[in-house]
Structure formats: structure tokens, C-alpha cells
Amino acid sequence: MQRTLVNETPEKVGQEVLLKGWVSTRRDHGKLIFIDLRDRSGLVQVVCGDQAKGGTGRYFPKDLRTEWVVEISGMVKERPIKLINEKLLTGKIEIEAKEIKVIAQSEELPFDTGLPVLNASLPMVLDYRPLSLRHPRNKAVFQVQETIISSFRETLKKEGFTEIQVPTIVPTATEGGSQVFKIKYFDAEAFLGQSPQLYKQIMVGVFERVFTLAHAYRAEPSVTTRHMTEYLGLDAEMGFIDDFQDIMDMVEKVVKNMFERVEKERSEELAIFSATVPKISEKIPCMKMREAQQVIFERTGRDNRNEPDLEPEDEREICRFSLEKYDSELIFITHYPTKKRPFYTYADPKDPEFTNSFDLLGRGLEWVTGGQRINEYQKLLDNIKKWGNKPEDFDLYLQAFKYGMPPEGGFCLGAERITMQILGLENIREASLFPRDMERIDKKLSVKKVEK
């Protein structure tokens, strides 16, 4: 008999089906046992009756436990109206078990997986990641993440971008040596890339518009709820821009399609977190960093008007302001100071102390960062020196500009960060299947010293 997926059962009322999956929960009601069976398509209720007590089931699963893998053959029956579960896709039917075959057993679980939220600390959840990810709430995070990533690709493909693959092993620590992981590379040394930035810029010379999904690595020796040592960057770069407004317009297309698709395809998952995608205005509002600081000063009396960046508290305040004034949970902040941005950032010709760069803030945090880049070879070379770097470390990168590069710019989103922000998660680790930080790679790191 061919397997039926759980989500196909509602169309098979009155038919016998063969289901395969995991026992998600089991409830004993005397002569009846109820099993929630889980497969990749959903959950369905299975009723097992004890023959000895007058039930119809041939196998009464007294010893069957949570997470056991089973094959169940049975009859699809409509539920009595008062027992319909509207929340469940299969809530109008149930399976009357005829036979249950155990495929694999499970050892006793370290926590109760039947609760709406696991009653376990984050370290425990991570210690038992293969199990905790099976829980509907944890699993939902990565279903939403898949849609986020797939919508990013979809929007940009439509806009004429080419998807590229860039390496993560890099020859030099281009963005500051101390926060870079070092690799023993045969007899030489190499590093883990902090972003695909230089490669995506090079590729503008080839495909004009490119995007890439690239692992990025930061050896920051601190543990926060918003940072990991390895994360997934959703990176894009585009040539022949008229202005850096073009880049922000592209970001807007990306996030709008993202929110639409998450809302449409992942409503069940959003509901688990009581989450909604951010409200945005017809056009996402936009203001300069100095204007934002002025607004913050006027609203709170906090005078950061000469600071070179927004403080976390400033970012939260300006998001509140945006929601109140523009009815938008997202807002672009532009023109960050030249000194605070990387060497390749394009200075505003009208005010070179500030750059044609932007952050997209939402719900109090940075969602996207981007800007226009310097596309003139000589200016780029000068800036590399000015920022204290060695031009020979940027040989390959500089070539792209030496041989003709149009005005260009781009942006980057962190996949885990966006997932966290859409679902309102407390810790970014919840948005990574196997999060890496200073203290953990799968399990807590034992303090094992490296040979020096």
C-alpha cells in the first residue's frame, strides 16, 4: 500500500490509508488511546481502540511512546461536529487505527515535548538540538526562515540579478585582524571571510547585478543575544545606479515581497509566536542620521546630536517615532559619518563628512545595511591607504575598478537577524539551527588551549 501524507488525509474520508511518521503525543483514555502522528506535512489524530476492551484496533499501543517512528494503517473518519479542531488542518477527521508497526523506538526524552513551549532553558534546548527542533514551535522558526531566504532570491531574480557563489576562505584579514578567525592553511595561513563584500563588488563588473547567500564569520569575543560567530548573509550588489536611492528602492522591494510571502505562506507559524510581519507605509520613511538625532533630542532630551552613530536606545526611539508619525515599523536612516563606515563607502559629494549609506531599522534593531560604493579606481586606492590598509592585500578587488566599474552599491541582511525580528525571538540563537558562539559549537566548549 502506498503511503499517504498527513495533509492528504482530509480528502480520503472513508478510505483506508497507510501513514508514516513520529508519535508526537499520546493520550490515554482508558479503552482508547489517542496519538498525534507527525510527518513532514503536518499532524493528524489517530484513535486506537483496545480489542480486549471492545475497541477495533488490532494492536493496542500500550508501550508506544513519544518520538517513536511508526507506520499506521487505518480508516479516515469524519469527527463528530463537537470534536472538530479548527486549529488543525486535519481537525475535521481522525484515523481509526487498524494496525501499527513500530519502525524505530526512542529513548526516554529529557523534557516534555507535548507542551506548547518547551519547558527548558536555551542551553538545554541547544544541548538537545536534534530533539528540540522537532517541536512545532522551534521547527516553525526555520520554516519562516526558508520563506525569507526564498523570497530574497525570488525578488532579485525578477530584477535581473544573477546568483553567485563566493568563497569563505580568504587570504587576508581585510576588515580588522583581531575579529577574524585564522585557519592553518597547509604551510601558510588564511582567514574566514567576514562578508562576501569584496567578491560581490568584483562581480558587478561581470553580471552588473548579483546576489549571494554567504556564511560570514566574526571572531568577536563577546556573547550577546544578537550576535553569533557564524551567520548567513543575504547579500546583493548592483551597478549603474543613478543614486543610492536606487539601492534603497531595491531593499524596499525585497522586504515588501518578503513580508507578503511570510504572511501568506507562514500564517500558521506566525500564529504560534503571535507574531505579525512589520507594518510599513506605502513608501518606507527615510531620514538622515543627524535629523534622527535631532528628533531624539526633541522627544527625549537626550542630546546625542554630535555622536558618530546611533546608540541602541536611539535606534529604539527612532523606531517608536517612525511608527507614531509614519505608521511604519521600518525606517531608513541615511548619511552615517564617513569615519564610521568602511573604506569603500561613497562620501556624499555635497557633504563629504557623511556617506551615501543607509541602515534600515525596524522594531528597534538594524535589519539591513547598505550604501553606494566608490567606483573610481584612484579614489578607492587612496582610501585603502587612508584607512591604514595595504593596497597589495586588495590586488584582486582593485582590478575590478582598474578595468572599468560603473557607479554601484548594495546591501546585506542577516538571515537569522531578520527571522528573529519578524518572529520576535529573544535570542538570535533560536533562529540558527546549530548556533556558534564564543562558548558553544554544538556543545559547550571545553577550555582546551590551542598549541602555541
The least distance separating its own copies from the CB of residue 99, rounded to whole angstroms, comes to: 17
H/E stretch holding 27: strand 16-29
Q: How far apart are CA 259 and CA 264, in angstroms?
A: 8
Q: Which residue from 150, 224, 225, 267 is in contact with its own copies, where contact means CB under 8 A?
A: 150
Q: How far apart are CA 372 and CA 355, in angstroms?
A: 8
What distance lies between CA 162 and its chain's CA centroid? Answer: 21
> Judged by CB, which is closer to its own copies: 6, or 47?
6
192 binds its own copies (CB under 8 A): yes
376 binds its own copies (CB under 8 A): yes
Q: Which residue from 49, 91, 114, 171 is in contact with its own copies, where contact means CB under 8 A?
A: 171
170 binds its own copies (CB under 8 A): yes
H/E stretch holding 235: strand 230-239
> Judged by CB, which is closer to its own copies: 1, or 81?
1
Q: Quick one: 346 exposed, middle or buried, by C-beta within 10 A (0-12, 13-18, 19+)?
A: buried
The least distance separating its own copies from the CB of residue 373, rounded to whole angstroms, comes to: 13
Residues 229-288 that bind its own copies (CB under 8 A): 229-230, 232, 240
381 binds its own copies (CB under 8 A): no
Contact letters (x/-) for its own copies, 58-97, by CB under 8 A? ---------xxx----------------------------
17 binds its own copies (CB under 8 A): no
> Judged by CB, which is closer to its own copies: 280, or 384?
384
Contact letters (x/-) for its own copies, 384-423, by CB under 8 A? -----------xxx-xx-xxxxxx-------x--------
Torsion of CA 188, 450, 433, 172, to 10 degrees: -30
H/E stretch holding 22: strand 16-29
Torsion of CA 412, 417, 418, 421, to 10 degrees: -140
The least distance separating its own copies from the CB of residue 427, rounded to whole angstroms, comes to: 17
- Applying CB under 8 A, the span of 53-61, 82-90, 352-360, 426-434 interacting with its own copies comes to 426-434
352 binds its own copies (CB under 8 A): no
> Judged by CB, which is closer to its own copies: 101, or 279?
101
Residues 34-63 that bind its own copies (CB under 8 A): 39-41
How many Cα atoms are found within 13 Å in the side-chain-facing hemisphere of 308? 8
Q: Residues 33-62, buried b or exposed e (16+ Cβ, 10 A)?
A: bebbbbbeebbbbbbbbbeeeebebebbbe
- Applying CB under 8 A, the span of 54-62, 81-89, 281-289, 373-381 interacting with its own copies comes to 373-381
106 binds its own copies (CB under 8 A): yes
> Judged by CB, which is closer to its own copies: 85, or 143?
143
How would DSSP label each residue in 32-56? EEEEEEEETTEEEEEEEE-GGGT--
143 binds its own copies (CB under 8 A): yes
> Judged by CB, which is closer to its own copies: 311, or 442?
442
130 binds its own copies (CB under 8 A): yes
Q: Which residue from 13, 115, 117, 445 is in contact with its own copies, where contact means CB under 8 A?
A: 445
178 binds its own copies (CB under 8 A): no
169 binds its own copies (CB under 8 A): yes
Q: Which residue from 64, 89, 122, 190 is in contact with its own copies, where contact means CB under 8 A?
A: 190
User: Residue 431 is placed in which grid cell?
Assistant: 533562529
How would DSSP label each residue in 326-391? HS-SEEEEE--BGGGS-TTBPEETTEEEEESEEEEEETTEEEEEEEEE---HHHHHHHHHHTT--G
164 binds its own copies (CB under 8 A): yes
Q: How far is CA 260 from CA 269, 302, 420, in A?
A: 14, 36, 17
Q: How far apart are CA 443 and CA 127, in angstroms?
A: 6
Query: Of 61, 98, 103, which Cα lies nearest the Cα of 76?
Result: 98
Q: Which residue from 59, 273, 297, 377 is in contact with its own copies, where contact means CB under 8 A?
A: 377
> Judged by CB, which is closer to its own copies: 114, or 171?
171
List residues bridging with 347 in a β-sheet. Answer: 355
Contact letters (x/-) for its own copies, 195-214, by CB under 8 A? ----x--xx-xxxxx---x-
H-helix segments, 214-273: 245-265, 267-272
Q: Check: CB of residue 51 under 8 Å from CB of residue 57.
A: yes
The least distance separating its own copies from the CB of residue 242, rounded to whole angstroms, comes to: 9
Q: What three-state secondary structure class fits 442?
A: coil
- Applying CB under 8 A, the span of 91-99, 105-113, 274-282, 345-353 interacting with its own copies comes to 105-113
H/E stretch holding 156: helix 136-158
- What number of chain residues touch its own copies (CB under 8 A)? 99
User: Residue 21 is placed in which grid cell?
Assistant: 511518521
